[in-house]
Amino acid sequence: MTRNMGTIDRALRIVAGVVLLGLGAFGPLGWWGLVGLVPLATGLLGNCPAYSLLGISTCPS
């Protein structure tokens, strides 16, 4: 897998994923908080399948 996400994009996804998981665990989202696994995983891996399909890359290199 080649990286197609830049640093800011990755950081925002990681933060959003952690927030969603936290809201699911301790807040009103309940099981819907597991949706936070998707942005967390893509942020940690640096590869977004949707970006690959659309030919988008926010990676500077």
Express each pLDDT in 39-48 by its tens digit: 999 999 999 9
Amino acid 57: pLDDT: 92
**Nearest CA among 29, 60, 56 for reference residue 16:** 29
Express each pLDDT in 5-53 by its tens digit: 999 999 999 999 999 999 999 999 999 999 999 999 999 999 999 999 9
Amino acid 61: pLDDT: 72
Rounded-to-integer distance, Cα 11 and Cα 60, Å: 15
The pair of structure tokens assigned to 42 is 């893509």
Amino acid 28: pLDDT: 92
pTM over the 0.85 mark = yes
For the chain, domain boundaries: 7-54
